[in-house]
Chains A and B, each alone.
Chain A
Amino acid sequence: MRKGKVHKVKKGLAWHVSPRKLTLCLYALFVLFYVLVVGTRYGAIFRMIEANSWTDEPLWHLCRYPYLGALLYALPMALVGLTLCLFKLRKYAPCTLLVPLCLAYYFAPHLRTEEGGYRLFSTEMEQERQVCNYILLADDKQWEELLETLRKDGNLDTPLGLRYALLAEGALGRLPDALFRYPVHSPDDLLFRGDRSAVSCQFNRQFYENLGVYDEAFHQAMEYGVKQKEGCCLGTLRHLTDYALANGDWKVAEKYLTILADAWLQGSFIEERRATLARVREQMQQAEATCDSTQLLPLRGESFVGLYPLRSEMVRLAYYQEGDAQKTLDYLLCIALLEKNLDTFYKILTQFPNYHQRMLPRNYQEALDILQSQGTAWRDAMQGSYAFYYYNVAIPNGNNDIQMSSLN
């Protein structure tokens, strides 16, 4: 037996534990911990950095420089490498000192809660990661993946998850069919009304962007940016730039691009948008010179956002929207269904040409069936229409034969 060795006999197996092996085991455990916990979390952290919503973090500024952030997160691994080298050189004392250093590096900055306490394996960060993931998927228009992720996370019945699911269905044009597969209760389930929290602003931004209402998307992005403790983040600046360009506000888009140019890793975005900006500027200047009202926004629009009840707002949006208002119309019809206001539903359905000579989505058809079964109001409204004839007029037996005979 060599000096310094500890002999343990347990169920017939002899364990030889030297300081060297003990240190090695500790490091192995740390590396395992780091890879499993920190490594998986690193993905989350990176998503959050990407979403630029992570501003409570003491190292918040790394949001602006994501790869530097990644480097710093990889530093504990470098420390582990260093300690392994020292270990190989049999310098155990510094190795032992580096263990708490590695742990402190990870725990100290990231586990502090707002209350001043420390958290280890809280669900708070995981929830934050999930939210950031939904935001990113919606921004990337990966609607199917968003729905799948919501299902996997089990968040379809949470206020935010439900809204994201309905947004995805709306973007995919499936809202009229899919609406009642979700636990919806009222039109308020479609977006956040009167809620100015940062997450609500992010969602509402994406909701209005999906409808092509870029002024309101800009407004919501601005609200979100203003709410950030450290000022407007890069993600918000990119959104503001895109919405400004979509509306032809090239001057303010140019301002945001200049700001973005001062940050790292925005090169490809800036390059693409500068090309768009040049095109938009030329279009706008030409339109202003020729007073081409089809290209120019009206000085003051006909509809407001957030002022009226949601149904009323959607009516105005659908009515004044240029181009394809299909999504807005579907929201409008779905709101009528959610309000169980079938008379309004029918009026809207017949007023807009979108569903003329088209097969109706399942829920719309069911709503018409209910209307038909309800009788009077529907009958009054439908008088003179084919639907009235189809659902209400009974064809006498043998009528065709008579007609046919007389023709012969």
Chain B
Amino acid sequence: MSRPRRDPRAEREAKTVAVTARRRLDLAAFVSPSRRPRRDPRAELDVIEVFGAPRRRYDRTQTTALVSRMMKRAATQDAEPKAPQVRIVETPAFHVFAVLQTPKGRLSRFDRQILGAARMLADAGSGGGAVVALASAATADLGPAGADRILDLGDEPNRPASLRTEGVKAAVEQLQPKHILLAEDDESADLARRLAVTLGEPIMTDAVYLSAKQVARRKNGMRAEEYGEPPRIITLGEDRAANYSGAPCEARAIEDAPALDLNDPAILSVETIPGDPTQLSLSETDFVVSAGNGVTDIEVFKNLAKVMTATPGASRVICDAGLMPRSAQVGASGTVLSSECYLAFGIAGAPQHLQGIAGCDHVIAVNTDLHAKMVERSGLAIIQDAQLVMPALWQLIEERRGKA
């Protein structure tokens, strides 16, 4: 790998103390060959120590985040405070479109991957490309996720896909992007194919590998692979590209977005019917409320899941006891979730259970045991009896609903 090569002469030069005519070296001075600040394990532990616990406890879940924060703090203590560096591409050499889905007005994991892949294509070679995110201008975090520009085509949920395609086509004619990246995911996948057919261009669908030089996909039921230079239109499979993690980009809105006012004569009406999470299967839902062995009043729990419009789940113990159906079991031998949020009441967090929630972005744990694995995994941990928290939660929701 590319660890910087040590240069003994330069190191000696750096350690030279200019006092006498004779050369003197301060051998205690530490010069990091990589110019990275040296780690201080004791200080790192101090930072992640959880206060108020009867015995020493460390919160190791965020170690990397905290350590990097600490190291940054140490670095800025010496230097004068700097404003966060924003990457600005003033006159882009070319454009790369990233068509985003932004469910509920937020970037999903897939959206971030699409932006990451677009960023990679824009920076490849001599670079200088600009990533244009096709999304609502109100979406948060587009800059940090790698977007230089935002093009808001004003899509509403009820706009037919044929008209949405016309919007993107107009944008393509205006900015002539080098690549258009879309997610291989229901509506985006539909849009990509419409775009390829209207523009009459080749498309690489469901790419499993993407670099600036090559893109590949599977065919013949995973018996062969097709590959070639990345074409203009590419749809990327989920978990195939890494997020962008560099300096935040500018995310400047493009003002002169093409305005379109068309209608599709064949489409008579469009109406979106939201799904009911309480009826969905565990693998489809976005929010799961789950009960473990620490929950004794299952009826309260089931009602709470309904009130929170969440899908009820359970640990294996509860399913084995026949308190919840087997289809509700979360974990290795149950369902592996793809939901965004997981609220666990009285679940210890056995490895077989944690496997099922590996993909959840937000985990909330309610448990009486401070040292439970689930508490370690969670982004919000409440050390309290689940039998007290559940009715309180229910009551608070009813109160807020009553007011609204």
Question: Is B a genuine binding partner of A?
Answer: no
